[in-house]
Amino acid sequence: MDWDFIVGHVNYWLFIVLMMTGLYIVVAKGNLVKKIVGLNIFQTAVFMLYISVGKIDGGTAPIFPTDMKIDPAVVYSNPLPHVLILTAIVVGIATTSLGLALIVRIREAYGTIEEDGIYQIEKDIAAEEYRLHNELKSRRS
């Protein structure tokens, strides 16, 4: 195995580890806050990937000189992934805050933020509604 390849691409290995960690947390955990944290870890991994793609070895910041005398030998890094990530960070903060606000409302309505507890409460409510429906139906008959 070529260690130079592994060390030279450490950001991609970290991307894979972070992405799989975030995905595992979202799928395996029943707590809604933990799911939001897992989504944020997953999102950070995607940010890391895009920023890594935009970096060019030996590339400089894409700022043209004020006299506009551009040396064709100069290599510039691509600014587009960085700009997209800035927008994605803002959207990520907004979706995280919305998710946390929804969790607060779920806690107020159900008294828990655990998926199993919410499913059980919903099942109990449905069973009670079914029982009341059948009772009302039998009174009408």
Residue spans of beta strands (DSSP E) within 50-131: none
Mean pLDDT check: name the lowest of 64-68, 117-121, 135-139. Answer: 64-68
What confidence score (pLDDT) does residue 1 get? 62
Tell me what the mean pLDDT of segment 20-29 comes to. 95
Q: In this structure, which amino acid lies at residue 84?
A: L
**Percentage of the chain with pLDDT > 70?**
99
Residue 80 has a CB neighbour count (10 Å cut-off) of 12
d(CA 113, CA 33): 8
Q: Which residues contact 79 (CB under 8 A, 6 or more apart)?
A: 54, 62
CATH (residue range 3-62+72-110): 1.10.287.3510
What confidence score (pLDDT) does residue 140 get? 84
Q: Read off the pLDDT of residues 64-107 as tens digits, 9 standing for 90 and up.
A: 778 888 888 888 888 888 888 999 999 999 999 999 999 999 99
What confidence score (pLDDT) does residue 119 get? 95
CB 32 within 8 A of CB 16: no
d(CA 24, CA 119): 21
Look-up: residue for tokens 């707590």? 31
Q: Which residues contact 84 (CB under 8 A, 6 or more apart)?
A: 50
Report domain extents, the chain.
3-62+72-110, 115-141
CB 56 within 8 A of CB 82: no
Q: What is the pTM of this model?
A: 0.78
Tell me if residue 76 falls in helix, strand or coil. strand
